[in-house]
């Protein structure tokens, strides 16, 4: 640090903004599951993208090596973050850019609003950006009398519908084509009443709607996919050309980027530009990627600003088990393969970041105790599909389990009456940490047969176990446990003793 | 070879036939099976629910029960529990600051195998029909459980073994890699989502026309079977060990009525 | 404390465990071994997949091909540094205002560009495996705006500029120039994740591969 060090800041400092679930995941999921149209839309979309991703990933003979490289590069970025941030700052500034640092969402919003105000404009075009969703920039600007116009097709759909994004790549994934047509007809001034639900026609309608805005905009706000420390270069990966419009035509460009987006060198881009498009849209390459290094005279915006955002990232970084969540390149492959996301959609997670990555990133950035975020790490069956799909190998299942531990520990001793789960886990720990105790309990299990009907099924259980029997029967316990059978067949019970050899007398069935 | 059986708590208490079948298969191959009596549970339920402190005694118990040099390898008829032993035990010991337990757990994990892994990789079983005498004349579909597939990378070992059982009609399951929705306490904490996942899994199983769904994890099979049962389906679930152990002389015991391929009902 | 110093302080504090900086394993492919014909074939295949129109011609035929592609355009723009020989086949009447030259010194306005039908540019390098063409703002490619606003982009790729895979291509260019990587015409997958070509960027991309 160049200035006097004023003591170690107390950690962690959590993030604010749109990072919270305001109701518990099971409650939100219950509501979303009731929406048959939503489930059909999501099922269709996630299956389409899964197949495309698998197809293009299988084409590359070195996919696993690319993942290994991507993972190691990101790990080294996290380990060297202070140094890389300073290096990036130096290079970006040397090329005519201006860097602003924002501790949290409020500070970032104020900076962006101030920069727009300085230009004298009251309107800005926007390229889809997760960071600005996270800080709630559009809403803040609106309060300040500034109109932020989303230009990505899906963001436009969501904004026109006064809805919230439900996916980080395809924010309107929860809408099908006919719903999109209805939104356009209702909300888009001058929409052709004969508009059909053909996606090509819908895209053309968006083009017409936004064209004038692009050509006259003086200010654009963007995010960034990558920032190269060794050159001060920024990259935006997109498809529609709305990114190019925003990054090229206006006079002023304001980019908002999380501090974790850095890559050390130009060479690292060759890894990430292979990993990202195949993992996100399932394409060999996305239609357009723009890279710019500060200001280029006569080409593109001449006023270049970058807001570097912490907003809880340093808190996530402080969690040794969880910090690799910051490796995320926002490809959305994890949510596309997640069986939970597929059925609940993104709104159930509350936060800007839904799906498996959101279930770890949101509580890491806000702290486990923020609103209902402690319910997010449980929103997974731990099937592991997300880890396999992640291009930078974030071990999401392990971090989910780690955060469950953080949650349980954060509540220890705080409750007067332990929950059913607490009591059950304590009792089970006692019973399951001794062969003898488990053996004794198993002797009582046949009593469970009394609870079963003549069909030997248990169909209703009390308390938290009622969740099981809402859709599943349990078979009546067997008359005898394996342990007891073995003891009878072999040399008598010795439940705490050493190995008991079998008689090796052939088929025991 | 002297093989220590880790029955797993759910099989020990609820599905003893699966453990008996595991013993039968291994003995049929001429190996000696021992049952370390101190064993109880892998502790996965505690770990996956975030109760690490409560998991430690469970893990310590498992390590103590299986760290004897008196056997060559340990085996369990469960991908999930073996993954827990190999992966979670050292991790939890480490996160709770018990380096000694971490090392002992890693040593136990290193000699613990999932059943199909042991059969195929160590014991060289390539044809269950000829090497184990397996006979099972039913139409069966097979669900590969997530932890075996993704944490142990079992690949198609279980399916290949089933495929070589004499008389079996193994029908492919659509979307086999999709989780059944069990997930331990997930099935209770997020019962609605879990049920929605199960609904789709059950529909895929039903679509195969099989009378039985096999797999390598009793917990997932209990979940799937419980869902099918609630729907009034006649499709049963059965661990692949029981199918491998099944012979003409000693056919597998299947709860309820299941149609034989020849048309005759088996008990 | 400034926000900068506070954030850097937080980040340093978060790393108090001094995590190791791993060696990056770069076992992925750094080179490909395709000859020129194979590179062309692969690039054509990938571009066609993106719904770009592609023709492979001998260098001498480039002017004829450009002229044919411009036949329907009322107006077109070219960067000031474009190889003038490439336009030899296009009938040129300075008075008709059909051809527009653009450079950083004498830039067309956005409104002017919006009134122009087509643009002809060269390219810096192409990636066969991904069907990607990279423009780096050098004289044959011009300012980024000219290859963006007109609805029809005619882009000449020299066969010698085709790399097999992305790492090879990125090694050939200067990352600090204003770069645009183009893989087909503009497209979106935002509705039901089905790809539709043609949104805000040029809806028509014609690639001429010159060997």
A229-247 confidence digits (pLDDT tens): 999 999 999 999 999 999 9
Mean pLDDT value across chain A: 92
Residue B148 has pLDDT above 70, yes or no: yes
Same domain for B254 and B152? yes
Flag if A9 and C13 touch (Cβ within 8 Å): yes
Residue A206 has pLDDT above 80, yes or no: yes
Exposure pattern of C110-139 as b/e (b: 16+ CB <10 Å)?
A: beebeebbbbbbbbbbbbbbbbbbbbbbee
Collect all residues of chain A within an 8 Å Cβ-Cβ radius of residue C201. Answer: 240-241, 244-245, 287-288
Nearest to A306 by CA among A227, A213, A217, A218: A227
Q: How many CB pairs under 8 A join A and B?
A: 270
Q: What is the pLDDT of residue A498?
A: 47
State ipTM: 0.97
By the CB < 8 Å criterion, does A73 face chain C?
yes
Dihedral pair phi/psi, residue A370, rounded to 5°: -70, 125
Chains near C with 3+ CB pairs less than 8 A apart are: A
Flag if A82 and C11 touch (Cβ within 8 Å): yes
Same domain for B25 and B93? yes
pLDDT band at A452 (very low <50, low <70, confident <90, very high): confident
Q: What is the pLDDT of residue A106?
A: 98
pLDDT band at A291 (very low <50, low <70, confident <90, very high): very high
Last residue within a domain, chosen from B85, B101, B120 = B120
Q: How far is CA A410 from the centre of its chain?
A: 23
* Distance in angstroms (rounded) separating the CA atoms of residues A233 and C177: 9
Residue that wins the pLDDT comparison between A9 and A425? A425
* Distance in angstroms (rounded) separating the CA atoms of residues A182 and B130: 64
Does some domain include residue C190?
A: no
Last residue within a domain, chosen from B120, B139, B155 = B120
Average of pLDDT values for A345-354? 96
* CA–CA min distance C155, chain A (Å): 15
Within 8 A by CB and 6+ apart from C185, the residues are: A287, C50, C51, C52, C153, C197, C198, C201, C202, C203, C204, C205
Average of pLDDT values for B187-194? 96
B residues 201-220 closer than 8 Å to A (CB): none
Q: What is the pLDDT of residue A496?
A: 46
Helices (H) and strands (E) in chain A, counts: 23, 12
Collect all residues of chain B within an 8 Å Cβ-Cβ radius of residue A432. Answer: 9, 40-41, 43, 46, 58, 61
Same domain for B140 and B96? no
Residue A84 has pLDDT above 80, yes or no: yes
* Distance in angstroms (rounded) separating the CA atoms of residues A221 and A247: 8
Flag if A1 and C200 touch (Cβ within 8 Å): no
* Distance in angstroms (rounded) separating the CA atoms of residues C185 and C177: 22
Count structural domains, chain C.
1
Taking 3-state DSSP, the helix, strand and coil percentages for chain C, each rounded to the nearest 5, stand at 30, 25, 45
* Distance in angstroms (rounded) separating the CA atoms of residues C194 and C190: 7
Same domain for B221 and B182? yes
Best residue of A10, A66, A288 to probe chain C, by most C CBs closer than 10 Å = A288
Best residue of B71, B96, B191, B241 to probe chain A, by most A CBs closer than 10 Å = B191
Picking from A8, A151, A216, the nearest residue to C9 by CB comes out as A8
* CA–CA min distance C81, chain A (Å): 15
Picking from A49, A266, A285, the nearest residue to C130 by CB comes out as A285
Q: Can you read off the two tokens belonging to residue A348?
A: 């159930």
* Distance in angstroms (rounded) separating the CA atoms of residues C106 and C51: 33
Does some domain include residue C87?
A: yes
pLDDT band at A1 (very low <50, low <70, confident <90, very high): very low
* Distance in angstroms (rounded) separating the CA atoms of residues A5 and C39: 56
Q: What is the pLDDT of residue B264?
A: 54
Same domain for B154 and B97? no
Q: How far is CA C97 from the centre of its chain?
A: 26
Q: Is the previous residue joined to C102 through a cis bond, with omega within 30 degrees of 0?
A: no
Distance set, CA C163 to CA A61, C43, C57, C124, C132 (Å) = 17, 9, 18, 11, 10
Q: Can you read off the two tokens belonging to residue A80?
A: 């060297």
Instruction: Tell me whether chains C and B touch (3+ CB pairs under 8 A).
Output: no
Residue pair B109/B85 in contact (Cβ under 8 Å)? The answer is yes
Same domain for B257 and B169? yes
Average of pLDDT values for A119-140? 96
* CA–CA min distance A105, chain B (Å): 30
Dihedral pair phi/psi, residue C121, rounded to 5°: -135, 165
Collect all residues of chain A within an 8 Å Cβ-Cβ radius of residue C46. Answer: 284
Residue of A nearest to C170 (CA): A270
Q: What is the pLDDT of residue A509?
A: 37
B221-233 residue pLDDT tens: 999 999 999 999 9
Residue A377 has pLDDT above 50, yes or no: yes
Residue of A nearest to C197 (CA): A200
Dihedral pair phi/psi, residue A294, rounded to 5°: 65, -145
Picking from B50, B57, B247, the nearest residue to A433 by CB comes out as B57
pLDDT band at B254 (very low <50, low <70, confident <90, very high): confident
* Strands A457-458 vs B258-259: parallel, antiparallel or unpaired: unpaired
The lowest-confidence range among A416-420, B75-79, B149-153, B213-217 is: A416-420
Domain span at residue C59? 32-185+195-210
Owner of token pair 């190998």: A393
Best residue of B10, B13, B45 to probe chain A, by most A CBs closer than 10 Å = B13
Beta carbons within 10 angstroms of residue B31's beta carbon: 19
Q: What is the pLDDT of residue C94?
A: 87
By the CB < 8 Å criterion, does A344 face chain B?
yes
Which strand ranges, in their side-by-side order, compose the sheet holding B112-114? B32-34, B2-5, B73-76, B112-114
Flag if A69 and C26 touch (Cβ within 8 Å): yes
Residue pair B265/B259 in contact (Cβ under 8 Å)? The answer is yes
Bridge partners of B170, per DSSP, are: B140
Q: Is A51 left (phi over 0), alpha (psi -120 to 50) or beta?
A: alpha
Does some domain include residue C179?
A: yes
* Distance in angstroms (rounded) separating the CA atoms of residues C179 and B141: 53
Residue that wins the pLDDT comparison between A502 and C187? C187
Collect all residues of chain B within an 8 Å Cβ-Cβ radius of residue A490. Answer: 35
A395-410 residue pLDDT tens: 999 999 999 999 999 9
Nearest to A496 by CA among B65, B75, B9: B65
Residue pair C17/A78 in contact (Cβ under 8 Å)? The answer is no
pLDDT band at A202 (very low <50, low <70, confident <90, very high): very high
Q: Is A441 left (phi over 0), alpha (psi -120 to 50) or beta?
A: alpha
Distance set, CA A401 to CA A360, A405, B53 (Å) = 10, 6, 13
Does some domain include residue C18?
A: no
Count structural domains, chain B.
2
* Strands A147-150 vs A226-228: parallel, antiparallel or unpaired: unpaired
Same domain for B27 and B133? no
Residues of chain C with pLDDT below 50 are: none
Residue of C nearest to A64 (CA): C28
| CB-neighbour burial class of residue A377 (10 A; exposed 0-12, middle 13-18, buried 19+) | buried
Flag if A203 and C21 touch (Cβ within 8 Å): no
Q: What is the pLDDT of residue A504?
A: 43
Q: What is the pLDDT of residue A447?
A: 80
Does some domain include residue C79?
A: yes
* CA–CA min distance A431, chain C (Å): 37
- DSSP secondary-structure letter at A478? P
| Percentage of the residues of chain B whose pLDDT score is greater than 90 | 93
Does some domain include residue C46?
A: yes
By the CB < 8 Å criterion, does A288 face chain B?
no
* Distance in angstroms (rounded) separating the CA atoms of residues A225 and A289: 10
Does some domain include residue C160?
A: yes
Flag if C201 and A241 touch (Cβ within 8 Å): yes
C124-158 residue pLDDT tens: 999 999 999 999 999 999 999 999 999 999 999 99
CATH number at residue B24: 3.40.50
Flag if B229 and A457 touch (Cβ within 8 Å): yes
Domain span at residue B147? 126-266
By the CB < 8 Å criterion, does B233 face chain A?
no
Domains of chain A, CATH where assigned: 25-314 (3.40.50.10420), 438-501 (no CATH)
* Distance in angstroms (rounded) separating the CA atoms of residues C148 and A26: 46
Q: Can you read off the two tokens belonging to residue A109?
A: 């919003």
Residue of A nearest to C2 (CA): A101
Average of pLDDT values for B61-83? 96
B residues 22-41 closer than 8 Å to A (CB): 23-24, 27-28, 32-41
Average of pLDDT values for A23-36? 96
CATH number at residue C163: 3.40.50.10420
* Distance in angstroms (rounded) separating the CA atoms of residues B43 and C23: 35
Same domain for B101 and B133? no
Q: What is the pLDDT of residue A455?
A: 82
Collect all residues of chain C within an 8 Å Cβ-Cβ radius of residue A12. Answer: 10, 14
pLDDT band at A77 (very low <50, low <70, confident <90, very high): very high
Same domain for B184 and B75? no
By the CB < 8 Å criterion, does A505 face chain B?
yes
Same domain for B113 and B137? no
Q: Could you write out the DSSP letters of every residue in B139-150?
A: EEEEE--HIIII
Instruction: Tell me whether chains C and A touch (3+ CB pairs under 8 A).
Output: yes
């Amino acid at each position: 640090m160049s200035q006097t060090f004023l003591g170690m800041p107390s950690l962690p400092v959590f993030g604010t903004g749109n990072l919270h679930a305001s109701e518990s995941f099971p409650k939100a999921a219950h509501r979303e599951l009731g929406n048959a149209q939503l489930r059909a839309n999501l099922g269709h979309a996630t299956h389409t993208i899964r197949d495309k991703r698998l197809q293009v990933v299988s084409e590359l003979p070195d996919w696993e090596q690319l993942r290994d490289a991507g993972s190691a590069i990101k790990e080294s970025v996290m380990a060297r973050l202070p140094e890389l941030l300073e290096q990036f700052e130096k290079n970006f500034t040397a090329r005519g850019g201006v860097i602003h640092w924002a501790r949290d969402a409020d500070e970032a919003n104020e900076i962006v609003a101030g920069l727009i105000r300085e230009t004298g404009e009251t309107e800005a075009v926007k390229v889809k950006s997760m960071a600005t969703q996270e800080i709630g920039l559009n809403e803040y600007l609106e309060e300040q009398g500034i109109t932020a116009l989303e230009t990505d097709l899906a963001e436009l759909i969501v904004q026109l519908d006064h809805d919230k994004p439900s996916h980080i790549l395809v924010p309107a994934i929860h809408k099908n084509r006919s719903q999109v047509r209805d939104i356009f007809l209702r909300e888009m001034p001058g929409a052709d009443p004969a508009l059909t639900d053909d996606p090509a026609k819908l895209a053309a309608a968006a083009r017409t709607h936004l064209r004038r805005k692009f050509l006259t905009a003086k200010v654009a706000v963007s995010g960034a996919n990558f920032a190269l420390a060794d050159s001060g270069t920024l990259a935006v990966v997109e498809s529609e050309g709305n990114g190019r419009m925003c990054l090229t035509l206006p006079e002023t460009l304001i980019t908002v980027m999380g501090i974790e987006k850095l890559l050390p060198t130009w060479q690292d881009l060759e890894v990430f530009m292979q990993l990202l498009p195949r993992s996100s849209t399932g394409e060999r390459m996305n239609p357009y990627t723009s890279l710019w290094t500060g200001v280029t005279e006569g080409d593109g915006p001449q006023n270049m600003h970058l807001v570097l955002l912490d907003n809880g990232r340093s808190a996530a970084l402080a969690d040794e088990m969880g910090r690799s969540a910051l490796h995320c390149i926002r490809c959305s492959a994890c949510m596309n393969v997640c069986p939970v996301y597929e059925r609940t959609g993104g709104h159930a997670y509350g936060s800007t970041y839904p799906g498996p990555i959101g279930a770890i990133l949101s509580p890491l950035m806000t702290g486990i105790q923020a609103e209902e975020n402690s319910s997010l790490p449980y929103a997974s069956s731990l099937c592991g599909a997300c880890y396999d799909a992640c291009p930078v190998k974030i071990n999401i299942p392990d971090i989910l389990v780690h955060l469950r531990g953080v949650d349980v520990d954060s509540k220890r001793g705080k409750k007067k009456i332990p929950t059913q789960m607490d009591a059950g886990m304590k009792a089970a720990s006692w019973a399951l940490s001794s062969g003898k105790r488990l053996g004794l309990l198993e002797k009582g299990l046949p009593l469970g047969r009394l609870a079963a009907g003549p069909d030997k099924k248990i169909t209703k259980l009390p308390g938290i176990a009622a969740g099981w029997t809402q859709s599943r029967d349990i078979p009546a316990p067997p008359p005898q446990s394996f342990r007891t059978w073995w003891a009878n067949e072999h040399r008598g019970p010795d439940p705490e003793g050493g190995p008991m050899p079998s008689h090796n007398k052939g088929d025991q069935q | 070879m002297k093989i220590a059986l880790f029955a797993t708590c759910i099989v020990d208490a609820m599905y003893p036939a699966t453990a008996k079948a595991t013993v039968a298969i291994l003995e049929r191959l001429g190996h000696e099976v021992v049952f370390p009596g101190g064993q109880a549970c892998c502790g996965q339920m505690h770990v996956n629910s975030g109760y690490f402190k409560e998991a430690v005694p469970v893990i310590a118990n498992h390590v103590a029960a299986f760290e004897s040099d008196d056997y060559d390898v340990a085996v369990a008829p469960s991908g999930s529990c073996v993954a827990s032993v190999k992966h979670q035990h050292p991790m939890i010991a480490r996160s709770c600051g018990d380096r000694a337990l971490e090392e002992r757990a890693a040593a136990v994990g290193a000699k613990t195998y999932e059943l199909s892994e042991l059969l195929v990789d160590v014991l060289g079983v390539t044809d269950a029909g000829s090497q184990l005498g397996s006979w099972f004349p039913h139409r069966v579909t097979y669900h590969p459980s997530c932890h075996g597939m993704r944490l142990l990378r079992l690949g198609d070992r279980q399916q290949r073994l089933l495929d070589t059982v004499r008389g079996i009609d193994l029908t492919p399951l659509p979307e086999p890699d999709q989780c059944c929705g069990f997930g331990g306490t997930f099935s209770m904490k997020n019962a609605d989502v879990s049920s929605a996942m199960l609904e789709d899994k059950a529909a895929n199983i039903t679509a195969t026309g099989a009378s039985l769904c096999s797999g390598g994890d009793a917990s997932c099979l209990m979940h799937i079977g419980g869902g099918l049962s609630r729907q009034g389906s006649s499709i049963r679930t059965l661990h692949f060990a029981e199918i491998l152990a099944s012979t003409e002389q000693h056919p597998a015991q299947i709860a309820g009525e299941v149609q034989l391929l020849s048309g005759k009902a088996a008990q | 404390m400034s926000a900068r110093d506070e954030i850097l302080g937080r980040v340093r504090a978060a790393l108090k465990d001094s995590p190791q900086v791993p060696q990056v394993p770069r076992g992925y492919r750094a080179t490909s071994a395709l000859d020129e014909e194979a590179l062309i074939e692969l690039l054509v295949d990938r571009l066609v997949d993106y719904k770009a129109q592609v023709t492979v011609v001998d260098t001498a035929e480039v002017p004829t091909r450009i002229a044919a592609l411009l036949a329907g355009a009322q107006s077109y723009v070219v960067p000031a540094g474009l190889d003038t020989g490439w336009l030899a086949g296009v009938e040129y009447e300075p008075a008709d205002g059909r051809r527009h030259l653009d450079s950083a010194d004498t830039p067309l306005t956005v409104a002017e560009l919006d009134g122009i039908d087509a643009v002809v540019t060269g390219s810096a390098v192409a990636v066969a495996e991904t069907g990607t063409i990279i423009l780096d703002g050098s004289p044959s490619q011009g300012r980024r705006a000219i290859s963006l606003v007109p609805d029809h982009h005619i882009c000449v790729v020299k066969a010698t500029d085709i790399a097999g895979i992305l790492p090879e291509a990125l090694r050939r260019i200067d990352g600090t120039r204003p770069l645009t990587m183009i893989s087909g015409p503009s497209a979106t997958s935002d509705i039901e994740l089905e790809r539709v070509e043609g949104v805000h960027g040029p809806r028509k991309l014609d690639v001429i591969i010159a060997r």
